[in-house]
A and B are shown apart, each in its own frame.
Chain A
Amino acid sequence: MAEALVFSIEEFSTFDGPGIRTTVFLKGCPLRCEWCHNPEGQSYENEVIKTQYGCTNCGECLKSAEKTDSGYVYSEKSILACPNRLLRPAGRLYIPQALVDELSKNINLLNKSGGGVTFSGGEPLSHPEFLIDTLKLLDNKTNRAIQTSGFCSNEIFKAVLENVDYVLFDIKLVDDKQHIKYTGVSNRSILQNLETLVKSGKDFVIRTPLIPTVTDTVQNLSEIALLLDGFNIREIDLLPYNKVAGGKYAAVGREFKPSFDETKPPHPHTEIFERYDIKVNIL
């Protein structure tokens, strides 16, 4: 049976689709966006992560950790050794039924509010079998959404799309070279999947993270506006970059080193979208 690592289940997520939602973050992502704020969601492997804050430097966790060039790699034993319980496995392994059981405890409240469940990541589409099985189990139980980079084969995208009610779809950079530079992958499949999404008639929203000097340029936002206009999409959510994005890197023993200047305030350039009669929501 398909199984997947879940690195967080967030209740009362208010920005991940209609109504009150629970968002499930699936672990593992084919992209490596420079501004990624969920480093523990990137790897498909389970690592032990440590909250730095509250650490008394007692050293108990280090006794069973492995020292590497980039820092310490903690073991299962380290988790139990911490007297303040600051370490935990980044992900928890679920089979679809177990995840649905856990989500069920809130499902009445979610439904009453017109909300539901959103699958995010990492990249939820990189766990197609698990995702589709889980979505099918939730069919007719609650509203099902995915929050995705759109990066996967068109076959998988179509198969998932059949089982969701709402899609939050990222468009980061239209220029493919830039896309490869900042996310590590080409956007060709993403743009193809966008077309599939538009044609499907499903409810969706386009989201663009505003990364200073990377995605918030006049050129990129103009290209996005043109792209949306071509599909007759009249609304976009812009998510301004926030300097706390790198906050969780130390927890996974890594350093956050963006090549862009994160101290610059991101520019939404709403006038570009207004020109195309596209409504902008800044989140």
Chain B
Amino acid sequence: MTERVKNLLAILKSGEYKKTRTESCADISDIVKEYSDGEKDSLSLKIMLESESLNAFRGDRIGFNRKQIYHPKYTYTNGKAANASGPNNITPDYAFALNNGFDSIKETVIKKITNCEEEKRPFYNGVLTAIDGVLEYADRCREDAKAKGIDDLYKALCHIPHKKAETYYEACVFMKFLIYTMRCNRNHHVTLGRFDQYMKPFFDNDVKRGVTHDELLEITEEFFISLNFDTDIYVGVQQGDNGQSMVLGGYDLDGNDMFNELSEICMKASMELKIIDPKINLRVSQKTPIERLEFATEMTKLGLGFPQYCNDDIVVPGLIGLGYRPEDAVNYTVAACWEFIIPGKAYDIVNIASFNFPAAVETAVNNGLLTSDTYEDFFEKVKSAIIDRCNGIIEYCNSKKFQYSPYFSLFVGSCLEKGLDIADAGADYNNFGVHGAGISTAADSLAAIKKVIFDEKSVSKEELLEALKSDFEGYGELRNRLLSCPKMGNNDGYVDNIACDLMEVFSSYLNGKPNSRDGIFRAGTGSAMEYILSARRVGATADGRKNGQPYGSSFSPSPNSQLDGPLSVIQSFTKFDLKKIINGGPLTMEVHDTVFRNSDGIKKTAQLVKAFIDLGGHQLQLNSINRDVLLDAEAHPENHKNLIVRVWGWSGYFIELDEPYRKHIISRTEHKY
């Protein structure tokens, strides 16, 4: 790590730079009131930028950090106040700007305005206002950089963003400029996409010019650090939830491996910096060399939760199955967290709603268990409940209106060509993605019902209903029995097949249903925060889960269940044909960091990842267990029955250890990083 990078990292960690921000916020209602909603946003962007100046910290060659925390105030035509949350969760077409520069883009826009139909004029005007705003700001920053003596930045700004980028450094500055201006335009969860692909030409230019590997690594690190400066003012459910995901590697249509020198430099940079952004995703397949998985496991070892793996063998055919063109499907990236999306072409709303599996089971239990004579009868009622909930979701999503965003639209599909904002479905893909939360809780509940009610007939339906209603108060023995029923994650066909049935009903019904934007619905395995939020709305479940308790996060075993181990987990969670439920949502697994004590542990963990890929898993989030989880386990042991800790030459369930020992393990994590 160079001195320059160390210095920047110190500035980031000190948080001192936050003192340069202002909290004032302009009210521009009067200025924008005559304009269309899209134009209002562009004017707001322009006005906001007028009050910004080059905010570059000591030694910072990238710049473009926020001064104003808040966006200007005004209301839309529907009377709603503009807030910080504009269109989000997609990967814009960065290459379009990097390879053209705004001068030539502006020319195109002006030509369009001159020749376009009247109703398209507000859109193009909005785009033009935004471009003028960002260019005026860039010019001012250029002079600021000159005055402040930041020579490299000054020189870069003499080319970009007016002209296309030439060098890797210029392209990095341009990238930060784009992200910064999009954020000022209220766009958030703006993901970085396939950085190692669209930046590669600039990188290659530099290599040809004789720029060294170390210099290229340094620039990459400066850019990565720069991405972290404003994350505390970005919109998100929790800090860190800001969508700055980066996807590396992948295979093209001919099966060529696209992982390159830049991909490797990005991973190195992330491992040296150990900061939360960008979040690294790695595209893999059965063909991925084991050495690369071992390299990636070195990253997992750091405990940051990177990389997340996406399996091309499953994702690409899955997306093609949903109607994405093959050349687009192979170019997939992740939107913010893990939803698969086509960069620069799609304005898919990948997280428009969340399907709550256990809620559907709850409905069937309450309304149909008493009248079901066989498990098959009962499952029909579950099926109806799933379809009813899907219909509700479809109706709700299709009634939604979308925000205009001319500047953002500039970077999406053929919006510019067609003169259509993303709000008016100007993108090439306009699909809706629906999460599927709580699959394991739902499958475990059905397995328990099947076992004790229908197979064994050891519990009466009335008794079970009463026990659930009373949240197991006075039904301790029954709860004990339910907890001992088969649980998803133990490679047990009894329950895993039920999970497959549930996913089949959900995905086959929802996939391909038309949405209000000439697109379709797509079903997924993610939960986002719904493993906690949706779970609060569901009472006690027949798997033994108590009222309101969380589900497993995304595609994971229930926190209720005692598990045999990771090999069983990956087999349980790859039984369903995951190509059919491909909105995204990873299997999330924790391994204790002591597994990585020697190189043998790295190799074996990489083999575990390889096994998951070979079995047909779609997405994997492998975590080296960290302090926060342990602390949560300390406070809520009932939610962490699966937490395995490596203790010495042996492993144990964390919650099975006595207090002083648990405390000791937690204390060990204090100085880990």
Shortest distance from the beta carbon of B519 to any chain A beta carbon, whole Å: 39
Beta-carbon contact of A37 and B647 below 8 Å: yes
* Neighbour of B476 across the interface among A60, A239, A244, CB < 8 A: A60
- Residue A85 CB within 8 A of the other chain: yes
Residue B186 CB within 8 A of the other chain: no
State which of B477, B484, B605, B648 has its C-beta within 8 Å of the C-beta of A241: B648
Q: A10-B565, A11-B566, A83-B477 are in contact. Are A112 and B611 (CB under 8 A)?
A: yes
Residue of A nearest to B491 (CB): A105
* Contacting residues, chain A, for B19 (C-beta < 8 A): none
Instruction: Encode contact with A along B633-665: 1 for CB under 8 Å, 0 otherwise.
Output: 000011000000001111111111111011011
Q: Which residues 14-42 of A sit at the B interface, judged by CB distance below 8 A?
A: 14-15, 19-20, 22, 37-38
Q: Which residues does chain B contribute within 8 Å of A79, judged by CB atoms?
A: 480
Known contacts A11-B564, A51-B656; A239 and B649 CB within 8 A of each other: yes
- Asked if residues B604 and A19 are in contact (CB atoms below 8 Å), the reply is yes
A213 at the interface (CB under 8 A from B): no
B229-269 contacts to A (CB < 8 Å)? none
Q: Enumerate B563-579 residues with CB–CB distance to A below 8 Å.
A: 564-568, 571
Asked if B595 is at the interface of the complex by the 8 Å CB criterion, the answer is yes
Contact A81 B662, CB 8 Å, known A9-B564, A244-B647: no
B601 within 8 A of A: yes
B476 and A19 contacting across the interface, CB-CB below 8 Å: no
Across-interface contacts of B604 in A (CB, < 8 A): 12, 14, 19-20, 113, 115
Chain B contact residues, majority secondary structure = helix
We find that the number of chain A residues with CB closer than 8 angstroms to chain B is: 49
A245 within 8 A of B: yes
Contact residues, B536-566 vs A (CB, 8 A): 544, 564-566
User: Does A222 have its Cβ within 8 Å of any Cβ on chain B?
Assistant: no
A97 at the interface (CB under 8 A from B): no
Alpha-carbon distance A37/B480, docked complex (angstroms): 28
On whether A240 and B476 interact (CB within 8 A), knowing A14-B600, A250-B658, the answer reads no
A82 at the interface (CB under 8 A from B): yes
Q: Are B649 and A244 in contact (CB under 8 A)?
A: no
Asked if A179 is an interface residue, CB under 8 A from chain B, the answer is no
Q: Smallest Cβ distance from A74 to chain B, in angstroms? A: 13
Residue A58 at the chain B interface, CB threshold 8 Å: yes
| Neighbouring A residues of B481 by C-beta, 8 Å | 80
> Do the beta carbons of A58 and B476 come within 8 Å of each other?
yes
B607 at the interface (CB under 8 A from A): yes
Tell me which of A13, A110, A112, A247 has the highest count of chain B C-beta atoms within 10 A of its own C-beta.
A247
Q: How far is B565's CA from A80's CA once the two chains are assembled, in angstroms? A: 24
B656 touches A283 (CB 8 A): no
Bound together, the chains give a CA A152 to CA B664 distance in angstroms of 35
Contacting pair B491 A247 (CB below 8 A): no
Given the complex, which residues of B lie within 8 Å of A243, measured CB to CB? 661, 664
Q: How far is the CA of A240 from the CA of B648 in the complex (A)?
A: 7
Task: Across the interface, name the chain B residue whose C-beta is closest to A242.
Answer: B648
Tell me whether B110 is interfacial, beta carbon within 8 Å.
no
In chain B between 201 and 253, which residues have their CB closer than 8 angstroms to a CB of chain A? none
Known pairs A83-B472, A83-B480, A113-B607; A247 contacts B649 (CB<8 A): no
Nearest-CB residue, chain B, relative to A239:
B649
- Do A283 and B568 form a contact, CB below 8 Å, given A14-B595, A250-B658? no
Q: Which residues of B contact A37 (CB under 8 A)?
A: 647-648, 650
Indicate whether A239 sits within 8 Å of B566 (C-beta atoms), given known contacts A247-B661, A283-B597. no
A12 with B652: CB separation less than 8 A? no
Find out whether the CB atom of B649 lies under 8 angstroms from the CB atom of A209: yes
Whether A109 is near chain B, meaning CB under 8 Å from some CB there, is: yes
**Chain A residues in 8 Å Cβ range of B661:** 243-244, 246-247
**Residue from the set A14, A109, A242, A248 with the largest chain B CB neighbour count within 10 Å:** A14
Given contacts A53-B637, A54-B637, A113-B611, contact A38 B662 (CB under 8 A): no
Residues on B with C-beta less than 8 A from A241 are: 648
Query: Do A244 and B480 touch (CB < 8 A)?
Result: no
Instruction: Tell me whether A219 is interfacial, beta carbon within 8 Å.
Output: no
The chain A residue with its CB closest to the CB of B667 is: A243
A270 within 8 A of B: no
User: Would you call B480 and A81 a contact (CB within 8 A)?
Assistant: yes
A: residues with CB less than 8 A from B are: 9-15, 19-20, 22, 37-38, 51-54, 58, 60, 79-85, 105-106, 109-110, 112-113, 115, 207, 209, 239-251, 281, 283
Return 11 A-B CB contacts under 8 Å, by A number: A20-B611, A51-B653, A51-B655, A53-B637, A53-B654, A80-B481, A83-B472, A106-B568, A239-B649, A244-B665, A248-B652
Which of B's residues lie within 8 Å of A, judged by CB? Answer: 472, 475-477, 479-481, 483-484, 491, 544, 564-568, 571, 591, 595, 597-598, 600-601, 604-605, 607-608, 610-611, 614, 637-638, 647-659, 661-662, 664-665
Beyond A80-B481, A83-B472, A84-B638, 17 extra complex contacts between A and B, CB < 8 Å: A14-B600, A15-B601, A20-B607, A51-B655, A53-B637, A53-B658, A54-B637, A80-B477, A85-B480, A85-B483, A113-B604, A113-B611, A239-B649, A241-B648, A244-B664, A247-B662, A249-B658
